[in-house]
Structure 1
Amino acid sequence: MPDVAFLAYEQCMLSGISSLMDAFGIANEWLKHFARREGVPASEDVLFRTEIVSPGGRPITAQGGIPLSPHRAMEEVKSTDLVLIPPHMFGVRHDREQIGDMLDWLVMHHQANARIGALCTGTFILAMTGLLDGRIATTNWQLVNRFRRQFPKVRLKPERVLTEDGGLICSGAVTASYNLGLYVMELFGSPELMRACSKALLVDPSRTTQAPYMTASFKKNHGDKAILAAQEWMEEHFMEGVTMEDAADYVGLSSRHFKRRFKQAVEETPLNYLQQVRLEAAKKALETTTDNIDEITRQVGYEDASTFRRLFKKHTTLSPREYRDKFAI
């Protein structure tokens, strides 16, 4: 019977705690149903025993000003099977001095063979422990660039909904927390329990990628005026058959120097940047128009529809038609 401790901290998102506490409660009820179905006397014991803990056992104020009283202090938890770290709306910006006790506590439990799960941007706290260095992780796709700058040693896989490496479990954007919950139900329970709960919660257990939901984030606050001008020019002329040499000429740089400087400023090659601009335009057209794929291919600057389809699927994991079926307004 696994013990699950939710680590509450100031301004954490309450949904990251309450949603999974409810989900584990549903799992416990399903196990009772399985027992009744098999004619086994119902036990008062439950599979998942959950509690909320906080530094010093202090009440905390969750996101939205919601007061939350923990069951006890984290320091009182000497052993547990799973610790779950709820997310923060914009990713935690605290330094180690502010939350050092939490980080040391997480390291201690990991060393005692407890699994640690980070929900969405809770990955920032887990990464601050250093435990994720050299390990695979995921997080909310909207904060990928910041995460990579802050934790360059982590092998971030932002397209993934869920990862586990060395007993450290991470989930993607908010609703991926349910996928982590299902994973834990199968881990400590059974595939049958996981399937029953996925249906009860209306969560697709086969969802493995965030890629179809990801939108490109174009870095522009880098301070390089020439590269910013190139970015704006590419965004204005992407539908034309522009080349990287055209962009370099526009800002008066050699092709080689332009590519190196662009990569340094934007953290992306100019060719990949142009592709992302075109793909974002294609997504918008697929979502908001009835234009056929060949028309959209030409509108976003590609001549060959098969090349466009291949690039689109590479970046989103969906064909243009599948994307339209999923997201069209």
Structure 2
Amino acid sequence: MKHVTIVVPQGNANLSSITGTYEILTGANAYWQRQGNRPKLAITVAGAVPEVKLDAGFITVHPTLIGTVKKTDLVIIPSAPFSLKLIGENKELIHWIKAQYLNGAEIASMCTGAFLLAATGLLDGKTCSTHWSAENRFKQMFPKINLQPDKLVTAEHGIYTNGGAYSFLHLVLFLVEIYFDRSTAIYCSKVFQIDMDRTSQSPFFIFQGQKNHGDEVVNKAQIYIEQNLRERISFEALAAELAISRRNFDRRFTKATGNTPVEYWQRVKIEVAKSALEKGRKSVYEVMTEVGYSDDKAFRDVFKKLTGVSPLDYRARYSKAF
């Protein structure tokens, strides 16, 4: 039997990712036993303090103290609203998570729980995901980690992460398949009504240009890009206008925003295109030309690269006109 520990961080952890994980794993265990098998998992909810208040104090959780959990096989870190205070309040928990991994446990983080996992140092040099809205902050704080925010689930060296919000359900299904089997995962998919095998959270991205970096030159460049979407921008000329070499411009822009100038330009264009497609009043061709594309294939390729779906599929999914 494998021992699973769902941890409860201090700092208003997301209740649904704790209870949802517990319910699905318990359901998988029950289904497994109904097939004539012995239980696969023993599940504990644990924390560094005996009482944690969640949801603005409306819910109180009384976890088992982590000090009493000497050995576990899988640690699950729920989502929690990120702040530096969150890491400061959970130093004991962070140390315990790292010690468990070094003692052979696997680790799974959900959404912004990746910040707590990253604070252990275990993700350095590895790939992970988190909520798309936390991308810039995460990259700034943990530059040694290969963040892949388009990925719904990542798995590397016994460490599992997932994207944002309720996509934690897909990570739990993934873990069910690992710790039980495919048929049990399918059963849970049907009972809890979770789509199987979704791999990307890209269609749900809302690109937010990073502007709190303090680099005035880059800020001016961002504003220029956003105000000239339909134009053919020469970044060589833009760098010269800002009295900076092209090489230095690219370096500073990438450091400040997490994107190269060309990537930023593309992301802004596609975000505007997404908004227009959601309204449903214009054709894909009209939207394409409004954001400065003249090549249909180039537009479709960039759109699908950044969202995971074609412009037509995106319009069909989100437009009120459909």
Tell whether the structures are fold-level matches, with TM greater than 0.5.
Answer: yes
Using the alignment, how far apart are the partners of 2:249 and 2:208 within structure 1? 21
- Corresponding residue for 1:53? 46
Q: Any idea what the Cα deviations from partners look like across 1:250-274, whole Å, max 9, x if unmatched?
A: 5455655544443344343222221
Q: How does 1:138-177 map to 2 (within 5 A)?
A: 138-177=129-168
Q: Match of 2:160, SS?
A: strand
C-alpha change, 1:265 and 1:170, in structure 2 (3 Å) is closer
Q: Match of 1:120, SS?
A: coil
Q: Does 1:93 align with 2:94?
A: no
Q: Match of 2:75, SS?
A: strand
Note if contact 1:92-1:125 (Cα within 8 Å) is conserved in structure 2.
no
Using the alignment, how far apart are the partners of 1:46 and 1:194 within structure 2? 15
Q: Any idea what the Cα deviations from partners look like across 1:50-74, whole Å, max 9, x if unmatched?
A: 2211114x10112332333334211
Quick check: 225-234 or 242-251, which moved more? 242-251
C-alpha change, 1:130 and 1:273, in structure 2 (3 Å) is same
- Corresponding residue for 1:289? 280
> Which of 83, 90, 106 lines up with 2:75 in the alignment?
83
In the TM superposition, what is the alpha-carbon distance from 1:19 to its structure 2 partner?
A: 0.7
- Corresponding residue for 2:111? 120
Q: How does 1:85-234 map to 2 (within 5 A)?
A: 85-89=77-81, 91-94=82-85, 98-234=89-225
Q: How does 1:247-262 map to 2 (within 5 A)?
A: 247-248=238-239, 251=242, 255=246, 258-262=249-253
Larger Rg: 1
- Corresponding residue for 1:74? 66
RMSD of aligned alpha carbons: 2.2
Using the alignment, how far apart are the partners of 2:58 and 2:245 within structure 1? 56
Q: Match of 2:6, SS?
A: strand
Task: State, as a whole percentage, how many aligned pairs show the same letter.
Answer: 31
- Corresponding residue for 1:19? 20
Using the alignment, how far apart are the partners of 2:117 and 2:258 within structure 1? 24
Using the alignment, how far apart are the partners of 1:98 and 1:71 within structure 2? 16
Q: Residue 154 of structure 2 aligns to which amino acid in structure 1?
A: T
Q: Match of 1:175, SS?
A: helix
Note if contact 1:135-1:155 (Cα within 8 Å) is conserved in structure 2.
yes
Quick check: 59-68 or 248-257, which moved more? 248-257
Q: Does 1:238 align with 2:235?
A: no
C-alpha change, 1:156 and 1:254, in structure 2 (3 Å) is closer
C-alpha change, 1:269 and 1:69, in structure 2 (3 Å) is closer
Q: Any idea what the Cα deviations from partners look like across 1:157-181, whole Å, max 9, x if unmatched?
A: 2111111211111111121211111
Note if contact 1:92-1:121 (Cα within 8 Å) is conserved in structure 2.
no
Mark the runs of 5 or more structure 2 residues left unpaired by the alignment.
Answer: none
Using the alignment, how far apart are the partners of 1:311 and 1:180 within structure 2? 27
Note if contact 2:189-2:195 (Cα within 8 Å) is conserved in structure 1.
yes
In the TM superposition, what is the alpha-carbon distance from 1:284 to its structure 2 partner?
A: 0.7
Mark the runs of 5 or more structure 1 residues left unpaired by the alignment.
Answer: 36-42
Number of equivalenced pairs: 319
Using the alignment, how far apart are the partners of 1:157 and 1:279 within structure 2? 19
- Corresponding residue for 2:8? 8
Q: Residue 8 of structure 1 aligns to which amino acid in structure 2?
A: V
Using the alignment, how far apart are the partners of 1:193 and 1:259 within structure 2? 49
- Corresponding residue for 1:314? 305
Using the alignment, how far apart are the partners of 2:198 and 2:105 within structure 1? 26
Q: Match of 1:87, SS?
A: coil
Q: Match of 1:51, SS?
A: strand
In the TM superposition, what is the alpha-carbon distance from 1:204 to its structure 2 partner?
A: 1.5
Q: Match of 2:45, SS?
A: strand
Q: Any idea what the Cα deviations from partners look like across 1:80-134, whole Å, max 9, x if unmatched?
A: 2211111112x24237664322122112211221111111111111111111111
Q: Match of 2:107, SS?
A: strand
- Corresponding residue for 1:38? none
In the TM superposition, what is the alpha-carbon distance from 1:225 to its structure 2 partner?
A: 3.1
Using the alignment, how far apart are the partners of 1:227 and 1:133 within structure 2? 28
Q: Match of 1:206, SS?
A: coil
Q: Any idea what the Cα deviations from partners look like across 1:225-278, whole Å, max 9, x if unmatched?
A: 343233222212212333324534654556555444433443432222211111
Note if contact 1:185-1:193 (Cα within 8 Å) is conserved in structure 2.
yes
- Corresponding residue for 2:254? 263
